[in-house]
Homo-oligomer: A and B are copies of this chain.
Amino acid sequence: MVTMWEERAADKRNRIDDSIPPEWKIQNLPTDDSVLDFPKRSGLLSDHELTITQSTASDLVKKLAQGELKAVDVTIAFCKRAALAHQLVNCCLEFFPEAAIAQAKELDAYYEKHKKPGLETSMGYVSWLGKYDTTESVLVTLLRKAGAIFYTKTSVPQTLMVCETVNNIIGRTVNPRNKNWSCGGSSGGEGAMVGIRGGVIGVGTDIGGSIRVPSAFNFLYGIRPSHGRMPYAGMANSMEGQETVHSVVGPMAHSAEDLKLFLTSVLAEELWKYDPKVVPMPWRQAEEDAVKSKLHSGGLTLGYYSCDGVVLPHPPILRGIEKVVSTLTQNGHSVHPWTPYKHDFGHNLINNIYAADGSTDVLHNINASGEPSIPNIKDLLNPDKGQINMNELWDVHLKKWNYQSEYLDKWREVEGQLGKELDAIIAPITATAAIRHNQFRYYGYASVINLLDFTSVVVPVTFADKSVDVKKADYQPLGQLDATVQAEYDPEAYHGAPVAVQVIGRRLTEEKTLAIAQEIGRLLGNTVTP
């Protein structure tokens, strides 16, 4: 017997399938584990369309502004590639190419008449992906104003609260590089879509790693801005109104430059006049320039840690940190060990915040349709604990504030010892390379940074390599969770999986932290996807 929720989900799947024009359908789906290169050999995209979709957003914007490209051609190219992406890795929840192409035609007509893009900023006619509410969010309004064209909403996990992308509507989204690996989550459909270049910049939200984990698993750059920098008003969300730890919105892309393009374009719209939570802080070019000037005199001063004291990362991640540290050191930067401060405390505190309502909100939404919970939900949201009351919540707020203050104290303490400013901290963003399905257990590397509300930029570093990333012989578990995570490591299964680090700056340091991330990517040679 088919129950109601299953019928509704099947109907939705059919509607997504129907939104793909027949001429964009793949006749023989590949059976390879990796589908990353399939678009190139599909025969469905012309060489010109392949060139467009392999470009950076910054380049596309320039060519559109000069009239070398037409908005409609760019839009069709990305819509086609996005259609392939959905058929290959199952990543779309909405696909609406016709509306996008119609909008692109209007923009081209404007250009024909005025010989300029005409809009206030030159974000251009590039493709944008995101999860949006039925009523238009402030971000979408501002991006449209900047000339952005929307053609899809990508998949997210049920509840948004886990770092793999699986729901009961379209099932699981897989990693374009290997269908046995997760694309990450919660903005995992977006990570997979940008990873396979069905979009050039993606938009995600992050309350515990949901921008950064998909970026890491798809070899992308991604930024979790601090709360108050980017507009969240009018967006749909899980656990709406929960404000002890704020979800934030930010971009994922193939280069740090494209992340900057997104941030500067949105900030140019004076978004604080639209969203009351946004700080009136335009792009501070001087902060970025200060980093660039350090590159030419004295170098950067950075901290790093490989293990947070709770869960030891897998060998590929440890090697990724080492690679970044040695690359920086060889290039004259000064890199110092950072002692993670009470990350076990921070990890527990934020988990309690996620569960502050005893999961009432999440369970209400799951139960409303009768669908079952996806795996891992129960790990994260523990309804048995019940709700905390108002005075307990206020106590949690004080604990959070004290923890944040103590972390700043440590930062200043280290600066005192070094006699100079500590520019950022390099750390793992996950304990594993792009993970096998249903294995994501530990959120602490990402979520403690959310609790601190620090700015964090993910930089792709390398790929797991079975010939060097061997299991540690002398490994001693730090605890049960650590043992479970470490037991998952299998050099063969993870061979080739993307490895990333995060670059962590103090609160609201987007310009500075992004500039440092850009330099690290440049030194690693990872400025475009291999």
* A385-396 near B? 1/0 per residue, CB < 8 Å: 001111101111
| Bound: A388/B391 CA distance, A | 11
A465 in the interface (beta carbon within 8 A): no
> Interface centre among A239, A276, A407, A508, by most B CB within 10 Å?
A276
| Bound: A391/B360 CA distance, A | 8
Asked if residues B273 and A401 are in contact (CB atoms below 8 Å), the reply is: no
Asked if residues B241 and A411 are in contact (CB atoms below 8 Å), the reply is: no
| Bound: A387/B390 CA distance, A | 7
Asked if residues B506 and A391 are in contact (CB atoms below 8 Å), the reply is: no
Residues of the B chain whose Cβ atoms lie less than 8 Å from the Cβ of A244: 243
Residues of the B chain whose Cβ atoms lie less than 8 Å from the Cβ of A242: 394, 397
If A356-B390, A357-B394 touch, does A404 touch B280 (CB 8 Å cutoff)? no
Residues of the B chain whose Cβ atoms lie less than 8 Å from the Cβ of A280: 506-509
A240 in the interface (beta carbon within 8 A): yes
| Bound: A489/B316 CA distance, A | 76
Asked if residues A393 and B390 are in contact (CB atoms below 8 Å), the reply is: yes
- Cβ distance A273 to chain B, nearest Cβ, rounded Å: 6
Asked if residues A276 and B243 are in contact (CB atoms below 8 Å), the reply is: no
| Bound: A98/B425 CA distance, A | 45
Asked if residues B241 and A405 are in contact (CB atoms below 8 Å), the reply is: no
Asked if residues A241 and B276 are in contact (CB atoms below 8 Å), the reply is: no
* A236-269 near B? 1/0 per residue, CB < 8 Å: 0001111110000000000000000000000000
| Bound: A419/B397 CA distance, A | 43
Identical copies of this chain, number? 2
A322 in the interface (beta carbon within 8 A): no
A418 in the interface (beta carbon within 8 A): no
* A357-369 near B? 1/0 per residue, CB < 8 Å: 1101100000000
Asked if residues A401 and B272 are in contact (CB atoms below 8 Å), the reply is: no
Residues of the B chain whose Cβ atoms lie less than 8 Å from the Cβ of A291: none
Specify the chain B residue showing the minimal Cβ separation from A279: B279
Specify the chain B residue showing the minimal Cβ separation from A402: B233
* A369-412 near B? 1/0 per residue, CB < 8 Å: 00000000000000000011111011111100100110110011
Residues of the B chain whose Cβ atoms lie less than 8 Å from the Cβ of A243: 243-244, 394, 397
Asked if residues B272 and A507 are in contact (CB atoms below 8 Å), the reply is: yes
- Cβ distance A505 to chain B, nearest Cβ, rounded Å: 10
Asked if residues B405 and A275 are in contact (CB atoms below 8 Å), the reply is: yes
If A241-B398, A243-B243 touch, does A507 touch B276 (CB 8 Å cutoff)? yes
- 26 A-B pairs (CB sep. < 8 Å): A228-B228, A233-B405, A234-B405, A240-B394, A240-B398, A241-B397, A241-B398, A243-B244, A243-B394, A243-B397, A272-B507, A273-B408, A274-B405, A274-B408, A274-B412, A276-B404, A276-B407, A277-B404, A279-B279, A280-B509, A357-B389, A360-B390, A360-B391, A361-B394, A388-B390, A393-B393
A residues near B (Cβ < 8 Å) are 228, 233-234, 239-244, 272-277, 279-281, 356-358, 360-361, 387-391, 393-398, 401, 404-405, 407-408, 411-412, 452-453, 506-509
